[in-house]
């Protein structure tokens, strides 16, 4: 029943997005209006994360299945796009590379200007570590509250002291 309720909330927000699309004369898809409404609702805590979290995760997990109808639809319009598919492919690959590059540059700028420290997670593949903010780790490397340890467990780390030890070990090696 919980999943039906969560799915109902997501569908209702999607319906509101459709209504905004019909009312506003802007060239914005209804799904974008829905995403914006959901984002605003989550940020203002009008919609608690717990009321859509599990169903949202499920929908993200099955998202690749949602691309099957679009791919099958290409078969129906193949006669229209067969002369320009190479151009579509070039534009798609080029725009994907540009977006990845810009995202990487922005991420590097955010990391450089972040107040957090460089942290190596034991057993991780990251050579440069990850940045954790001061809200989770204080200046002495101690956690500010117990909930930060709960957040770390989602990354496979049992305790914040594992990370602190890894940072100290790296400093000794350097």
Annotated domain spans of the chain: 2-61, 117-173
CA atoms within 13 A on the CB side of 164: 13
Give Cβ neighbours of residue 164 (< 8 Å, ≥ 6 apart).
141
Compare 83 and 116 and report the one with higher pLDDT.
83
Element (H, E) at 130: strand 130-132
Per-residue pLDDT averaged across 42-46, rounded? Answer: 93
Q: According to the model, what pLDDT value does residue 109 have?
A: 81
Per-residue pLDDT averaged across 147-162, rounded? Answer: 52
What are 19's two structure tokens? 């209504």
Count of other CB atoms within 10 angstroms of residue 119: 20
Of the listed ranges 19-28, 112-121, 148-157, 160-169, the one predicted with least confidence:
160-169
3-class DSSP state of 117: strand
Buried b (16+ CB within 10 A) or exposed e, 72-110: eeeeeeeeeeeeeeeeeeeeeeeeeeeeeeeeeeeeeee
Q: According to the model, what pLDDT value does residue 148 have?
A: 52
Q: Are 134 and 148 in contact (CB under 8 A)?
A: no
The answer to whether residue 29 scores a pLDDT higher than 90 is: yes
Q: According to the model, what pLDDT value does residue 48 have?
A: 94
Compare 120 and 24 and report the one with higher pLDDT.
24
DSSP states along 37-98: HHHHHHHTTSS-GGGTHHHHHHHHHTHHHHHHHHHHHHHHTHHHHTTTHHHHHHHHHHHHHH
Q: What percent of the chain has pLDDT over 70?
A: 65
């Amino acid at each position: 029943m919980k999943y039906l309720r969560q799915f109902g909330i997501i569908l209702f927000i999607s319906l509101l997005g459709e209504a905004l699309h019909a009312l506003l004369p802007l060239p914005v898809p209804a799904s974008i209006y829905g995403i914006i409404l959901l984002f605003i609702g989550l940020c203002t805590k009008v919609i608690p994360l717990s009321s859509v979290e599990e169903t949202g995760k499920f929908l993200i997990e099955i998202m690749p299945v949602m691309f099957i109808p679009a791919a099958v639809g290409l078969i129906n319009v193949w006669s229209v796009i067969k002369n320009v598919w190479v151009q579509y492919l070039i534009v798609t690959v080029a725009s994907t590379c540009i977006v990845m590059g810009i995202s990487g540059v922005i991420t590097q700028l955010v990391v450089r200007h972040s107040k957090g420290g460089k942290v190596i997670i034991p057993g991780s593949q990251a050579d440069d570590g990850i940045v954790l903010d001061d809200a989770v780790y204080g200046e002495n490397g101690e956690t500010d509250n117990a909930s930060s340890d709960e957040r770390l467990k989602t990354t496979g780390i049992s305790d914040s002291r594992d990370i602190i030890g890894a940072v100290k070990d790296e400093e000794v090696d350097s």
